[in-house]
Structure 1
Amino acid sequence: MTRIHLPGILAMATIVVASNILVQFLFGQWLTWGAFTYPFAFLVTDVMNRVYGAGPARKVVFVGFIVGVICSLIGTQIMGEFGPLVTLRIAIGSGLAFLTAQMLDVSIFSALRQGAWWRAPLASTLVGSAVDTTIFFSIAFSGALTWIEPGNDVSWAGEMLPLLGTGPVAPLWVSLAVADWMVKLSLALLALVPFRIIVNRLMAGQQSHS
């Protein structure tokens, strides 16, 4: 890891910290504000991968993971209206989802690196974000995994409701997960624009210094 990777490290750390704060604030019925900042972690990972390679991208991911763990530890010590802001299940789900999804993103991006410029970032982000959402919401809220933290009552998340208010009946946490992934899907498409711009500028900067 060198000084030229510092902007990527700082960007990832900022996104992780901001997302951990904004997840405490609701946006509508199914989302939190954190849903709109967290997906940009995939943008940072993909830019680092395209410009510097898979190795530096994985190191930036690891930094993000460590920052996330620190945020979770802090959150477990802050008491909210219904208990700690971060429960053990949320902490485990968040950390495992981030690390797994981001590392998968790096691997898929690297496999598709030689294709059209948009294919690698789009495919890696779509797959990574789907895995991220599945792991986090399952571990954090699924009734089948209450054994992870028996003292944490997540029965509210298992309330059977129409999916997103209009679809087939499903546990509430499934609606939360679907809404979260839909945001990630939308931002994955929108992020192709800044991805292209940032990569071109960084590549041009590298060439001018070579």
Structure 2
Amino acid sequence: MRVYLLPVAAMALVVLASNILVQFPMAGHLGSLALGDLLTWGAFTYPFAFLVTDLTNRLLGPVVARRAVYAGFAVAVATSILVPPILFSFGLLPFETVGERLARIAVASGTAFIMAQLLDITVFNRLRRGSWWKAPIVGSVAGSVVDTAIFFTVAFSAAFALVGPGDEFATAAAPLLGLFPTAEAPRWVSWALGDLCVKLLIAFVALVPYRLVIGMALPPREINAAA
């Protein structure tokens, strides 16, 4: 139990924080771009789930890493359903999401999370004998692409209407990334692109804490040989 406690708690904390913060758009503008139309604060916390997965995989092995992912999956599904109504009841959200819509978001969140994290584990273990940075960065990038693609298409695309009701605001045509009026796309496409850019940026930033942690936990010979 002591082996599982830290990675499971860390994964659950990251997913819980992300599913709360994703309800809150960023404030401010970047030039003519309203950041709230493109990003939520959850975009900056969720990518650290890949850091938890990679550290667990490297230090405790893929079996423990997968079990931490399963725990994160349970938290992702539960909080996707429970958190929005709680925030709305406290006046922290200006809108109420209906039950069927919550179910679709939960399916999208849980499916994206578990597919992306398990892919990260697989890629990591195939590349871990190379340079210390190659396995975590390639695994995180691959997982990030899959996570973004699955979540936004399942949650918002009309192709997945059978999963639950859609969101008219998300599916309405809008300038791509809020900047290109001649290139319109469903609004959720811009959200997905913004989300992916943040994930890829944090994947590189997370190499710093990854290196620091394994540097403290493993002898230098082992880090250089199989980090």
TM (norm. structure 2) is 0.83
| Residue of structure 2 equivalent to 1:38 | 46
Q: Is the 8 A contact 2:137 2:204 kept in 1?
A: yes
Which runs of structure 2 are paired with 1:49-88 in the superposition (5 Å)? Answer: 49-75=57-83, 78=86, 81-84=95-98, 87-88=102-103
State the identity as a percent.
47
Divergent runs of 4+, >3 A = 75-80
Measured in 2, the distance between the counterparts of 1:83 and 1:15 equals 23
Q: Is the 8 A contact 1:16 1:41 kept in 2?
A: yes
Measured in 2, the distance between the counterparts of 1:143 and 1:93 equals 13
Q: Is the 8 A contact 1:143 1:155 kept in 2?
A: no
| Residue of structure 2 equivalent to 1:23 | 22
| Residue of structure 1 equivalent to 2:120 | 105
Measured in 1, the distance between the counterparts of 2:199 and 2:184 equals 23
Which runs of structure 2 are paired with 1:1-210 in the superposition (5 Å)? Answer: 2-27=1-26, 28=35, 29-75=37-83, 78=86, 81-84=95-98, 87-149=102-164, 152-167=165-180, 168-203=183-218
| 1:25-55 residue CA offsets vs partner (Å, 9 max, x unmatched) | 1112211111100000000000011111111
Q: Is the 8 A contact 1:101 1:128 kept in 2?
A: yes
Q: Is the 8 A contact 1:12 1:41 kept in 2?
A: yes
Measured in 2, the distance between the counterparts of 1:16 and 1:110 equals 23
Q: Is the 8 A contact 1:54 1:106 kept in 2?
A: yes
Counterpart residue type for residue 16 of structure 1: V
Counterpart residue type for residue 75 of structure 1: V
Measured in 2, the distance between the counterparts of 1:10 and 1:66 equals 12
Partner SS state of residue 132, structure 2: coil
Measured in 1, the distance between the counterparts of 2:82 and 2:55 equals 29
Q: Is the 8 A contact 2:21 2:42 kept in 1?
A: yes
Larger mean Cα displacement after TM superposition, 39-48 or 53-62: 53-62
Measured in 1, the distance between the counterparts of 2:217 and 2:104 equals 39
Measured in 2, the distance between the counterparts of 1:153 and 1:11 equals 32
Root-mean-square deviation (Å)? 1.8
**5+ residue gaps, structure 2:** 27-34, 223-227
**5+ residue gaps, structure 1:** none
Measured in 2, the distance between the counterparts of 1:50 and 1:17 equals 23
CA apart distance, 1:24: 1.0
CA apart distance, 1:84: 3.6
